[in-house]
Amino acid sequence: MERSVIHLNIADFAVAVERLINTDLKTKPLIIAPPTNRSVVYDMSEEAYRAGVRKAMPLNAARRLCRSAILLPPRPERYEKAMTAIARTALNYTPLVERSGGDGHLFLDVTGTHRLFGPPPDIAWRIRKTVRKDLGFNPIWTAAPNKLVAKVASRLVKPVGEYVVADGEEEAFLAPLPLSLLPGLEPEELIRLREFNLTTVSQLTELSRQHLSIILAKRAEFLYRAARGIDPSPVMVPASQSGRLVFHQELADDSNDDRIIRSAVLALSGRAGQTLRSLGKGCLRISITLRYSDNAQNSRQITGKLVLADDLDINRAAVNVLYRAWRRRIRLRRITLCCERLVRPVRQLSLFDAVNRRSQRRDALNSALDAINTRHGKEFIRRAGEHRSAGNTLV
């Protein structure tokens, strides 16, 4: 059966949400960024974009380029609620809906649903009509045989439009496009490819895996497949249905300060531990995803044999993964901690009473902290080491 993936994207999503809440902002240039020293642009309106403002640009430079722009702080909780409402509409057509935080992107796997709802373009059109009528957003939609090709098509028609890539047309569709449109390529990799005068996708398809391994050894297979529109990656179901818990931390200021980064990871570990204990579960796998100031991302994970539900145990594993993923000197903007393989925790009693008493004291402390945070909010009490400048945690 031919695979069918729909990509929905609301361009400049943070700006779209802010304008929906305050209609006076609809025709005015906007810059979304924390009003702090050394902050960078989180999002911007089309008017600011035409003036030269770009995501991850230092705020001072952006203000010089677009002096008439209104500055608003990022409000991720609003964007998350809007994404939840949009995803709820998409779930009426397929249970396979993947959302990426609160940035306006959704992937839907509608393979095999044509007998119920018609072909993928009809489904996408209905979703856009419903979202526009009920929520006030006007998303781009594209349909393709996989996520990679659907996302590239969205980049072509942004900020408004639609595109359909039929099965078998993936390579021909990608061939004339610049490499910068391929998802997953980091800025350093694009520079490396330009050093070999490789600027379009068609130029990559002329090279074998062996040739590509000379240019980017570890990424040769990815480049070979991506240039041909090959992407078997599945559409991931919502975290609550897949045995995953995901926690995000946006830094108040982009930073590569070790103390601030570890503090943010400790805060995430605390939220993860409290949520796991409230569900009566623990996790076997911890992953960390880092987003840098230039919007590049890097992820690593660790899988153990012991079930993790205690804050400090989760933090110990998370810090281990953090330093595996943190390989660039560029400042960090966002940290994501994911708990996977959720299971019921089973504790093996130790032969030594002192060890058992220590475990009991830790359980009692966790229970007390959970009760306080549930009653008064997560900002009421913190573990030593959590730094306030790390920003707000989003679950």
Residue 357 has pLDDT above 70, yes or no: no
Tell me whether residue 375 is in a domain. yes
pTM listed for this prediction:
0.67
pLDDT band at 373 (very low <50, low <70, confident <90, very high): low
Within this chain, do residues 301 and 386 fall inside the same structural domain, yes or no? yes
Q: What is the pLDDT of residue 354?
A: 62
pLDDT digits (tens, 9 = 90+) for 169-220: 999 999 999 999 998 888 889 999 999 999 999 999 999 999 999 998 888 9
Tell me whether residue 144 is in a domain. no
- For residue 152 the two structure tokens come to 């590239």
Q: What is the pLDDT of residue 391?
A: 45
Tell me whether residue 110 is in a domain. no
Residue 394 has pLDDT above 70, yes or no: no
Q: What is the pLDDT of residue 121?
A: 95
Q: Which residues pair with 210 in a beta bridge?
A: none
Within this chain, do residues 201 and 290 fall inside the same structural domain, yes or no? no
What total number of domains does the chain contain? 3
Within this chain, do residues 201 and 254 fall inside the same structural domain, yes or no? no
Q: What is the pLDDT of residue 378?
A: 52
Tell me whether residue 377 is in a domain. yes
Residue-number span of the structural domain to which 66 is assigned: 14-75
Give me the CATH number covering residue 272: 3.30.1490.100
Give me the CATH number covering residue 59: 3.40.1170.60
Within this chain, do residues 343 and 374 fall inside the same structural domain, yes or no? yes
Within this chain, do residues 383 and 350 fall inside the same structural domain, yes or no? yes
Within this chain, do residues 255 and 364 fall inside the same structural domain, yes or no? yes
Instruction: Give the mean pLDDT of the chain.
Output: 85
pLDDT band at 355 (very low <50, low <70, confident <90, very high): low
Residue 348 has pLDDT above 60, yes or no: no
Within this chain, do residues 254 and 321 fall inside the same structural domain, yes or no? yes
pLDDT digits (tens, 9 = 90+) for 239-251: 555 567 888 888 8
Q: What is the pLDDT of residue 390?
A: 44
Among 24, 46, 75, residue at a domain's last position:
75
